């Protein structure tokens, strides 16, 4: 098992071969990638510089041959460290032509008069100015830009053993961090300080970055699961929830833990127990060939008796290079589970005063069922 940073070149070759096979089957002559996850997937180009929205970045994956990077000069040295051979650069930002002509020329040269697939559907976006995209289409005489026929989704959804190792490592780092929450969470501590300390222990335990942390703290849970921390202090009897997406070598974990500050109310005790039962029901429903919705249904039976869930929409999702990826564990998602898919199981339950508890674990689909990547929590809520 390859478990260091990066991937062997053979892994990138395999990813591109699979993409090219799907292009042939789905009638595309190339792919155009513009986002960090898609470009990292094919090249290994890893940087936090995506935080800067100034410059667009492009990768052309033709139906034959290696991908071609069309990128700002500032990224050339880093791209040269990857397996990509052909790197075309321009001095960006260029207020008149920020790589559009260079990209159009590259597409015309490599695709000729064909059809280029651009990820266009659910959970995608185009990371270049819309006005530049309109200019690009005008320059592309003979080339059609169509959707990517879900090729990126199809490929990225199923993880390789080396990708799973990275996610597992991220999960392990979060596990160690969660086990240290008692070091800094007690009555009188500001939630904002808890957030900062938790990020620090994530880093100390080995995280490269902590791109995501949400949570809350209140009696009987919290009103939502996406808020940043305020300066309110933890109170005895609160439920503290921390939900982290930390990364190792570009791969995320995404799971949470609930803690009772002092003795928990019976409502909280029961809610937490139900969430663990729901998670386990979801876990047991996993098998290759089943639809994603089946996991929703298994968890929802425990949570609501099968009423179809709540308005927050889903009880889990894929993860990998992104904090959230396909599929969604919702009643309408018919995506067929396959071995190698990495998922979160994320049941939630209302408690009292408009608050709720949410629990989350990370799993990988195997040939026969599933394995936990996070160390599953006990049904008894942890008291700090």
Interface pattern 303-322 for a second copy (x via CB under 8 A):
--------xxxx--x----x
Instruction: Figure out which of the listed residues 61, 164, 191, 210 binds a second copy, where binding follows CB under 8 A.
Output: 210
Nearer to a second copy, 184 or 366 (CB): 184
Separation of alpha carbons 208 and 206, rounded Å? 6
Instruction: Figure out which of the listed residues 125, 141, 305, 307 binds a second copy, where binding follows CB under 8 A.
Output: 125
Q: How do strand 316-318 and strand 251-252 relate by DSSP bridges?
A: unpaired
Binding segment for a second copy (CB under 8 A), chosen from 164-172, 179-187, 218-226, 260-268, is 218-226
Total binding residues for a second copy by CB under 8 A?
Answer: 77
Q: Is residue 192 close enough to count as binding a second copy by CB under 8 A?
A: yes
Binding segment for a second copy (CB under 8 A), chosen from 22-30, 48-56, 103-111, 183-191, is 48-56
CB of 194 to a second copy, least distance (A): 12
Q: Is residue 1 close enough to count as binding a second copy by CB under 8 A?
A: no
Q: Is residue 208 close enough to count as binding a second copy by CB under 8 A?
A: yes
The two tokens of residue 242 are: 């921390």
Whether the CB-CB separation of 214 and 312 falls below 8 Å is answered with no
R_g of the chain computed on alpha carbons:
22
Separation of alpha carbons 133 and 163, rounded Å? 32
Binding segment for a second copy (CB under 8 A), chosen from 104-112, 233-241, 261-269, 324-332, is 324-332
Q: Is residue 52 close enough to count as binding a second copy by CB under 8 A?
A: yes
Q: Is residue 190 close enough to count as binding a second copy by CB under 8 A?
A: no
Q: Is residue 130 close enough to count as binding a second copy by CB under 8 A?
A: yes
Q: Is residue 126 close enough to count as binding a second copy by CB under 8 A?
A: yes
Q: Is residue 231 close enough to count as binding a second copy by CB under 8 A?
A: yes
Instruction: Figure out which of the listed residues 32, 60, 128, 299 binds a second copy, where binding follows CB under 8 A.
Output: 128
Q: Is residue 378 close enough to count as binding a second copy by CB under 8 A?
A: no
Residues from 98 through 117 that contact a second copy (CB under 8 A): 98
Sign of the C-alpha dihedral computed for residues 230, 279, 163 and 160 taken in this order: negative
Nearer to a second copy, 47 or 274 (CB): 47
Torsion of CA 17, 22, 27, 28, to 10 degrees: -50
CB of 53 to a second copy, least distance (A): 5
Q: Is residue 162 close enough to count as binding a second copy by CB under 8 A?
A: no
Run of H or E including 364: strand 361-365
Separation of alpha carbons 302 and 379, rounded Å? 14
Q: Is residue 228 close enough to count as binding a second copy by CB under 8 A?
A: yes
The 3 state secondary structure assigned to 58-74 is EEEEECCCCCEEEEEHH
Q: Is residue 182 close enough to count as binding a second copy by CB under 8 A?
A: no
Binding segment for a second copy (CB under 8 A), chosen from 62-70, 89-97, 156-164, 363-371, is 89-97
Residue written as tokens 């005063």? 353
What are the φ and ψ backbone dihedral angles of 261, each rounded to 5 degrees?
-85, 105
Q: Is residue 137 close enough to count as binding a second copy by CB under 8 A?
A: no
3-state class of 119 per DSSP?
A: coil
Residue 70 Rama label (left phi>0; alpha psi -120 to 50; beta): beta
DSSP labels for 14-57?
HHHHHHHHHHHHHT-SEEEE-SHHHHHHHH----GGGG--SS--
The two tokens of residue 328 are: 């969604």
Run of H or E including 372: strand 370-372
Q: Is residue 367 close enough to count as binding a second copy by CB under 8 A?
A: no
Separation of alpha carbons 149 and 245, rounded Å? 29
């Amino acid at each position: 098992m390859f478990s260091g940073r990066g991937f062997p070149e053979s892994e990138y070759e395999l990813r591109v071969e699979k993409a090219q096979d799907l292009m042939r089957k789905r009638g595309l002559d190339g792919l155009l990638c513009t986002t960090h996850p898609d470009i990292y997937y094919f090249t290994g180009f890893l940087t936090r510089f995506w935080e800067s929205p100034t410059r667009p970045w492009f990768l052309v994956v033709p139906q034959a041959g290696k991908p071609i990077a069309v990128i700002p000069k500032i990224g050339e040295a880093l791209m040269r460290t990857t397996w990509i051979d052909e790197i075309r650069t321009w001095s960006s930002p260029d207020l008149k032509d920020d790589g559009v002509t260079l990209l159009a020329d590259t597409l015309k040269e490599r695709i000729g008069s064909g059809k280029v697939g651009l990820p266009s559907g659910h959970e995608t976006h185009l990371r270049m100015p819309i006005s530049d995209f309109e200019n690009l289409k005008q320059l592309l005489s003979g080339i059609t830009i169509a959707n990517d026929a879900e090729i990126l989704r199809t490929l990225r959804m199923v993880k390789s053993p080396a990708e799973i190792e990275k996610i597992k490592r991220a999960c392990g780092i979060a596990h160690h961090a969660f086990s240290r929450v008692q070091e800094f969470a007690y009555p009188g501590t500001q939630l904002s300080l808890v957030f900062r300390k938790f990020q620090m222990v994530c880093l100390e335990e080995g995280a490269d970055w902590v791109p995501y942390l949400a949570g809350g703290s209140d009696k009987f849970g919290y009103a939502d699961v996406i808020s940043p921390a305020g300066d309110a202090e933890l109170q005895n009897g609160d439920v503290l929830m921390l939900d982290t997406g930390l990364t190792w070598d570009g791969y995320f974990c995404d799971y949470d833990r609930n803690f009772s500050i002092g003795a928990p109310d019976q409502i909280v005790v029961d809610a937490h127990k139900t969430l663990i039962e729901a998670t386990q029901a979801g876990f047991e429903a996993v098998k290759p060939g089943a639809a994603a919705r089946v996991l929703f249904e298994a968890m929802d039976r425990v949570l609501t008796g099968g009423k179809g869930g709540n308005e927050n929409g889903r009880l889990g999702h894929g993860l990998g290079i992104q904090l959230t990826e396909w599929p969604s564990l919702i009643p309408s998602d018919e995506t067929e589970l396959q071995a190698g898919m990495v998922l979160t199981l994320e049941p939630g339950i209302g408690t009292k005063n408009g608050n709720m508890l949410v629990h989350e674990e990370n799993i990988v689909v195997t040939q026969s069922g599933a394995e936990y990547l996070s160390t599953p929590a006990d049904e008894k809520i942890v008291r700090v």
